[in-house]
Copies of this chain bind each other. A is one copy, B any other.
Amino acid sequence: MLRKVALPYMKKVTIYDLAKSLNISSATVSRSLNNHPSISEKTREKVLAKAKEVGYRTNKFASNLSKQQSNTIGVIVPKLNSYFMSTVLSGIEKVANDNGYNLIISQSLESKNKEILNTKTLYDSGVDALLVSLAYETDTYDHFMRFIEQKIPLLFFDRVFDIPNCPIIVIDNELAAYEATEHLIQQGCKNIVHISGNFKRNVYTERKNGYKKALKEYTGKFNEANCVEHDLNPENVDEIVQFVKSSKKKIDGLFISSDTFAVHCVKALQNAGYKIPEDIKIIGFNNDPITMVINPTLTTIDYPGYKMGVLAGQSIINHLKGNIDIESANSIILKHKIITRESTQL
């Protein structure tokens, strides 16, 4: 049987109710509730006590409507369910919550269109600020201009755009990639292949650059064909095995831009008869927990997700609270760290 759901019925208590029962004005109640300086300690306490007694809860909509701000922060991420992203989110949530902000989280699912939609929704929802990590596909930033025009703080993290005056939080991907490649070279690899994501995204191009730089510096040689742009989808891991197999020059090193994908590569290559690290040395990226339980354990780049989230949250909240050093806020570069494990060492 289908029927309409009953609606709330318990009468909500408003500041007027409080005012009436205390014989004061609603304005005084409001001020007391908000710790306005020009209110006597006595009345404030009276109000607070009464409020507590009757279970008063402030109506955010009325308050937001009046104040024209929402105390919520919007977040757009490519995917919720990746170790890295959920860790970042966890950090953002922590500081947001500690500072009395709500979070509205949405995922672009790597689609530019969805990202644009998310952007609209969050704008309409009246978020006070927006935190975003870009979708694979996104190659323009018109949809963010609305926020910039309205001076709604906008911050990119990890997968970022370089928009003037728009702060970003990243790691030094180029340097990290340089170190990863350097490590492989030092381990004796003579033919290192780099497997990465969509080169539209800063993180992947920068890593490619680092890879290239290390190669040039150490060997003087760099072969564009050794940079594989891939969707990093585990289902397509066979393409990598094929690539390795069919290479004329024996491949003995793999620098892969994602731990999860790297781990699948390890598996697939082992199944194809390759020994890791004897035949091929492999280094991943992210320091996903998975890297420690696989066999062999995976050398990787530690990438501080939680910290990135915390910093993103803090920066934007500082910004919102108005106390920010504008000059220095434009970008934060977090430290990464190479973690050497069995997959690159004999």
Taking a contact as CB atoms under 8 Å apart, the answer to whether B104 and A103 are in contact is yes
Interface residues of A in 1-29 (CB under 8 A from B): 1-10
Taking a contact as CB atoms under 8 Å apart, the answer to whether B93 and A105 are in contact is yes
Also in contact, A61 and B64, with CB within 8 A (given A81-B83, A104-B103, A324-B5): yes
| Number of residues on chain A facing chain B (CB within 8 A) | 72
Taking a contact as CB atoms under 8 Å apart, the answer to whether B104 and A121 are in contact is no
A2 to B324, CA, bound (A): 6
Question: How many copies are assembled?
Answer: 2
- Chain A 110-125 against B: per-residue CB contact (8 Å), 1 yes, 0 no? 0000000110010111
Taking a contact as CB atoms under 8 Å apart, the answer to whether B57 and A61 are in contact is no
Also in contact, A150 and B80, with CB within 8 A (given A106-B93, A106-B97, A260-B289): no
Select one of B83, B103, B118 contacting A105, CB under 8 A.
B103
- Chain A 207-222 against B: per-residue CB contact (8 Å), 1 yes, 0 no? 0000000000000000
Residues on the B chain within 8 Å of A327, using CB: 1
Taking a contact as CB atoms under 8 Å apart, the answer to whether A102 and B86 are in contact is no
Closest to A266 in B: B293
Residue A277 lies at the interface, judged by CB distance under 8 Å to chain B: no
Residues on the B chain within 8 Å of A8, using CB: 68, 150-152
Residues on the B chain within 8 Å of A103, using CB: 104-106
Taking a contact as CB atoms under 8 Å apart, the answer to whether B93 and A107 are in contact is yes
Residue A258 lies at the interface, judged by CB distance under 8 Å to chain B: no
Interface residues of A in 304-339 (CB under 8 A from B): 319-320, 322-327
Distance between A153 CB and nearest chain B CB, rounded to angstroms: 7
Residue A62 lies at the interface, judged by CB distance under 8 Å to chain B: yes
Residues on the B chain within 8 Å of A232, using CB: none
- Chain A 146-172 against B: per-residue CB contact (8 Å), 1 yes, 0 no? 000111110000000000000000000
Residues on the B chain within 8 Å of A289, using CB: 234, 260, 290
Residue A58 lies at the interface, judged by CB distance under 8 Å to chain B: yes
Residues on the B chain within 8 Å of A325, using CB: 1-2
A93 to B79, CA, bound (A): 10
Distance between A275 CB and nearest chain B CB, rounded to angstroms: 13
What are 9 pairs between A and B in contact, CB < 8 Å? Answer: A2-B324, A4-B322, A5-B153, A58-B124, A80-B93, A93-B106, A103-B104, A103-B105, A290-B293
